């Protein structure tokens, strides 16, 4: 293209460009603040994409004292704007323009590039390098926005932009590098997948009040993403899967008041997510609760601070509502707004402090291997054990042992022994019938060694029984005990205490009517001695 081929309006664009001035072609047709719609615009507002390409690549003649810049408002751009592999040293700012064909910046190098309130059909900037900010702000794009491999030294601003692509993803930004922030806030919408796999962001990603929709698929795919600041997604609305597996966020992750909907599938994939501070899946400052229809997966997540689901609503009745297997966090707040509809899996998680509420205990838990320091609200042991018994996968000793350690760390030794006793009773239910009988004897007599006072009570009871019987029915003297003075208490003790001999048992013989009492006392003594030794040994081993 040559200068003499330019139309009158394109010459005005060239002149304004040479002086770095803004050329405004609008005629009050965008007073409502919405992206451009050029239906009915006349030729005085039409600029060819080829003319803009020529101007940016070859046609700049700077006027003395001015810095050239393309600042164009309210134009319809006919034809594509082809800037592939271009070196563009100028700022490009276009407001309220209607691009009838694609805009391509493949592998281009440019300064700040800003589109505001524009309508586009495709924006292709893969591998582009932008020295400054890249803005596609409050625009409407009815096709793909491609930023794969791009490097932006400033901010990527997509606030209020509406993306829709019926043929595939709405935004692809695989391996994009943004040195500052990514902003997709204030009504940003995407119909189709938003892809940020392997993205590197030096600052924050802010998706507050955004709307993402890709039903039955992935709405946000951000595997192995790295964020140097915070991931802010307050009141985010997602239809489809929100996938962050293997990503790292050095600051906070906020999904406060977010609404995730992907029924019977994963609503949030945070497997192996790493968070430098805290992960919030709770209510925002306006008391909008976090809700998820579908599974929230945080298996293997590493959170240095707190994972909080305070007042969250989780619904996945046919599968797991929350999976935190092998996750690690300094604190977990599980005080949800209501009982989760679905399984909660905490197997092999490592949590410093657990905050929970009986009203939000799930119907079904998986707890084997869960480790923690303490509960914020310990609860009496019999109530807390009911939490353990919601694990319907069968008897496992570790959850009871962990709860015992937690009570012991708080100095609640009696509560720790109660949990140990309840564990033995639970274990007894899976033993063979003969072992269950022996377990019942240990339970009744000495509480498996955790209630040693019971043995003393049994001994006192049997001692009183024997003393009373043998006072009424005195035993007969044997020849060897002709000089021994009979004492019913000592005689009873001689039968009750195995191994130890006090002389009365050898000196006197029970009468035929009471000899069965003697046998009962001897058998009871051996049983008590055996159970006491077994229980005390078990108790000492636990310590």
Q: What is the pLDDT of residues 232-270, one digit of tens each?
A: 999 999 999 999 999 999 999 999 999 999 998 999 999
Please give the Cα distance from 123 to 144 (Å, whole number).
6
Say yes or no to pLDDT of 450 above 90. no
Say yes or no to pLDDT of 437 above 90. no
pLDDT at 489: 78
Q: What is the pLDDT of residues 192-235, one digit of tens each?
A: 999 999 999 999 999 999 999 999 899 999 999 999 999 999 99
pLDDT at 445: 64
Say yes or no to pLDDT of 179 above 80. yes
Give the residue with greater pLDDT, 395 vs 449: 395
Q: Which is nearest to 47 in space by CA: 70, 71, 13? A: 13
φ and ψ at residue 237, rounded to 5 degrees: -115, 125
pLDDT at 296: 96
pLDDT at 499: 65
Average pLDDT over residues 77-98: 93
CA distances from 343 to 5, 135, 323, 337, 491 (A): 70, 43, 8, 16, 61
Give the residue with greater pLDDT, 479 vs 274: 274
Q: CA 28: distance to chain centroid?
A: 49
Say yes or no to pLDDT of 542 above 60. no
Say yes or no to pLDDT of 29 above 60. no
Contact 518, 494 (CB under 8 A): no
pLDDT at 395: 84
pLDDT at 118: 94
Say yes or no to pLDDT of 157 above 70. yes
The band of 466, judged by pLDDT with boundaries at 50, 70 and 90, is confident
Average pLDDT over residues 480-489: 71
Q: What is the pLDDT of residues 103-113, one digit of tens each?
A: 999 999 998 99
pLDDT at 286: 78
The band of 23, judged by pLDDT with boundaries at 50, 70 and 90, is very high
The band of 365, judged by pLDDT with boundaries at 50, 70 and 90, is very high
Say yes or no to pLDDT of 355 above 60. yes
The band of 30, judged by pLDDT with boundaries at 50, 70 and 90, is low
Give the residue with greater pLDDT, 391 vs 466: 391
Give me the percent of the chain exceeding a pLDDT of 70. Answer: 89
The pTM of this model reads 0.81
- Mean pLDDT of the chain, nearest integer: 87
Please give the Cα distance from 236 to 205 (Å, whole number).
12
pLDDT at 230: 96
Contact 90, 68 (CB under 8 A): yes
pLDDT at 216: 83
Q: What is the pLDDT of residues 491-508, one digit of tens each?
A: 777 777 766 777 667 677
**Burial letters for 251-290: b for 16+ Cβ neighbours within 10 Å, e otherwise?**
bbbbbbbbbbbbeebbbbbbbbbbbbbbbbbbbbeeebbb
Say yes or no to pLDDT of 312 above 70. yes
Average pLDDT over residues 458-469: 76
pLDDT at 541: 56
Average pLDDT over residues 525-534: 69
Average pLDDT over residues 520-535: 70
Q: How many CB atoms lie within 10 A of CB 104?
A: 23
Q: What is the DSSP annotation of 462-481?
A: HHHHHHHHHHHSPPEEPGGG
The band of 301, judged by pLDDT with boundaries at 50, 70 and 90, is very high
Query: Torsion angle of alpha carbons 430, 432, 438, 442, nearest 10°?
Result: -10
Please give the Cα distance from 211 to 195 (Å, whole number).
14
């Amino acid at each position: 293209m040559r200068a003499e081929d330019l139309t009158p309006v394109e010459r005005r664009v060239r002149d304004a460009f040479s002086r770095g001035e803004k050329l405004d072609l609008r005629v009050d047709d965008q007073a409502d603040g919405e992206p451009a719609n050029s239906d009915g615009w006349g030729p005085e507002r039409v600029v060819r994409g080829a003319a803009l390409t020529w101007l940016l690549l070859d046609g700049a003649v700077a006027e003395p004292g001015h810095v050239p810049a393309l600042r164009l408002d309210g134009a319809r751009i006919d034809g594509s704007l082809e800037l592939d592999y271009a070196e563009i040293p100028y700022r490009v700012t276009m407001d309220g323009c209607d691009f009838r064909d694609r805009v391509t910046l493949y592998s281009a190098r440019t300064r700040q590039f800003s589109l505001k309130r524009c309508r586009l059909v495709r924006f292709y900037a893969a591998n582009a390098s932008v020295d400054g900010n890249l803005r596609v702000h409050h625009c409407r794009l009815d096709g793909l926005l491609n930023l794969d491999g791009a490097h932006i030294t400033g901010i990527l601003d997509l606030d209020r932009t509406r993306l829709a692509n019926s043929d595939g993803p709405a935004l692809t930004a695989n391996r994009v590098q943004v040195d500052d922030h990514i902003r997709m806030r204030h009504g940003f919408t995407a119909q189709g997948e938003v892809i940020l796999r392997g993205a590197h962001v030096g600052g924050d990603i802010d998706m507050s009040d955004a709307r993402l929709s890709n039903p039955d698929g992935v709405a946000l795919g951000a595997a192995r993403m790295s964020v140097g600041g915070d991931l802010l997604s307050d009141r985010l609305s997602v239809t489809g899967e929100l996938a962050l597996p293997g990503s790292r966020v050095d600051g906070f992750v906020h999904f406060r008041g977010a609404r995730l909907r992907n029924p019977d599938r994963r609503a949030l994939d945070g497997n192996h997510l790493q968070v430098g501070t805290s992960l919030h899946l709770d209510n925002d400052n306006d008391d909008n609760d976090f809700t998820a229809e579908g599974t929230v997966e945080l298996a293997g997540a590493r959170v240095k601070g707190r994972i909080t689901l305070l007042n969250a609503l989780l619904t996945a009745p046919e599968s797991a509502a929350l999976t935190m297997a092998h996750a690690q966090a300094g604190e977990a707040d599980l005080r949800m707004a209501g009982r989760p509809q679905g399984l909660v899996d905490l197997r092999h998680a490592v949590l410093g402090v657990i905050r929970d509420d009986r009203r939000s205990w799930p119907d079904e838990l998986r707890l084997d291997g869960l480790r923690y320091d303490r509960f914020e609200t310990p609860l009496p042991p019999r109530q807390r054990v009911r939490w353990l018994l919601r694990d319907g996968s069968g008897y496992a000793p570790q959850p009871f042992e962990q709860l015992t350690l937690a009570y012991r760390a708080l100095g609640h030794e009696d509560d720790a022994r109660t949990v140990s006793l309840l564990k033995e009773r639970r274990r007894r239910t899976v033993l063979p019938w003969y072992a269950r009988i022996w377990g019942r004897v240990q339970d009744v007599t000495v509480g498996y060694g955790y209630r040693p006072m019971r043995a003393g009570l049994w001994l006192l009871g049997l001692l009183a029984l024997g003393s009373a019987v043998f006072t009424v029915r005195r035993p007969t003297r044997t020849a060897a005990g002709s000089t021994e003075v009979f004492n019913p208490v000592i005689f009873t003790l001689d039968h009750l205490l195995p191994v130890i001999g006090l002389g009365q048992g050898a000196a006197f013989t029970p009468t035929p009517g009471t000899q069965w009492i003697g046998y009962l006392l001897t058998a009871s003594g051996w049983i008590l001695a055996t159970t006491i030794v077994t229980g005390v040994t078990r108790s000492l081993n636990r310590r």
